[in-house]
């Protein structure tokens, strides 16, 4: 009860004290005290303003960062899409260039028929060099048919299935091709090596042979048509006590990067093994 009775009295005292302070402030009597008290209040107000301003700036910066992150994600998605389209366009361009080269090659020789094929497999291990194409018996492919590009001979068909074929590359150690030098018409034989290179053998010592000479098929033996490009001579080796000289030959084809080839389907290999020794004619 005593606490309840004291509260109205305290309220009256505070009211009159406040009234007196207002009157003194209006008359200017409290000006010196107000100046002194305003200093710490201004400091506190400045600190509070700085804190509020910092919080507001942080919130705005956070919002800007979220906007920038979202824009960055949008740009990354757009860049990924453009890169995919660029890669696709480059592939189309490369395919067009390769197919255009093959088409130009096939149209320059009018007496041959060709079937274009994709390379679907490659085996260039140390003991064999073969590739596989997506054309087979149902496309008219037969064993022995030459496989070429616009840069020259790739190999010969050795096995045929309904929808695929195996091609023995000319740099396989089991491959030997009858050739001649285009300039001098010197005959020889180009054989594949275990290293994957080509070597021209059986070249007479007195024949002129220089790096850069072009090597083409001779047609001898009936296994391949004449005039198919094999490659270029890169170096020549002569041995004093040997009957022949040798030359390293570089194919113009990169066998590890072939994607499109053509098969000469109009050529039929000739088997000369069935012929016996020549028969001497006698006069009647």
Query: Does the domain formed by 115-264 have CATH 3.40.47.10?
Result: no
Q: Is the pTM of this model over 0.85?
A: no
**pLDDT (tens digit per residue) in 23-33:** 655 665 555 65
Tell me the mean pLDDT in the region 78-89: 66
Parse the chain into domains and list their residue ranges.
11-108, 115-264
Cα 152 from Cα 167, distance rounded (Å): 15
Residues whose CB is less than 8 angstroms from the CB of residue 176 and which lie 6 or more positions away in sequence, other chains included: 189, 190, 191, 192
**pLDDT (tens digit per residue) in 134-182:** 999 999 999 999 999 988 899 999 999 999 999 999 999 999 999 999 8
Q: Record the tokens describing residue 184, joined without a space.
A: 């001098």
Element (H or E) spanning 55, and its range?
Answer: helix 31-108
**pLDDT (tens digit per residue) in 46-79:** 666 767 676 777 766 667 777 777 888 777 777 7
């Amino acid at each position: 009860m005593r606490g309840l009775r004291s509260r109205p009295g305290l309220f009256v005292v505070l009211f009159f004290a406040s009234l007196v302070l207002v009157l003194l402030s209006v008359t200017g009597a409290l000006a010196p005290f107000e100046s002194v008290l305003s200093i710490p209040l201004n400091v506190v107000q400045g600190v509070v303003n700085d804190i509020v301003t910092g919080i507001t700036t942080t919130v705005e910066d956070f919002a800007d960062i979220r906007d920038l992150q979202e824009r960055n994600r949008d740009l990354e998605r757009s860049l990924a899409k453009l890169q995919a389209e660029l890669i696709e366009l480059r592939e189309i361009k490369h395919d067009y260039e390769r197919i255009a080269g093959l088409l130009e090659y096939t149209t320059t020789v009018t007496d041959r028929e060709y079937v274009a094929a994709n390379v679907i497999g490659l085996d260039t291990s140390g003991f064999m060099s073969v590739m596989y194409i997506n054309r087979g018996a149902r496309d008219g492919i037969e064993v022995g048919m030459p496989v070429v590009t616009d840069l020259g001979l790739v190999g010969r068909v050795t096995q045929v299935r309904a929808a695929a074929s195996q091609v023995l590359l000319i740099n396989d150690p089991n491959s030997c091709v009858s050739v001649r030098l285009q300039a001098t018409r010197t005959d020889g034989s180009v054989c594949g090596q275990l290293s994957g290179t080509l070597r021209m053998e059986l070249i007479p010592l007195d024949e002129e042979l220089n790096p850069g000479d072009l090597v083409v098929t001779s047609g001898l033996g009936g296994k391949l048509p004449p005039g198919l490009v094999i490659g270029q001579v890169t170096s020549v080796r002569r041995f004093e006590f040997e009957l022949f000289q040798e030359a390293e030959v570089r194919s113009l084809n990169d066998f590890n990067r072939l994607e499109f080839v053509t098969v000469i389907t109009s050529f039929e290999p000739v088997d000369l093994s069935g012929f016996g020794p020549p028969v001497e004619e006698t006069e009647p």
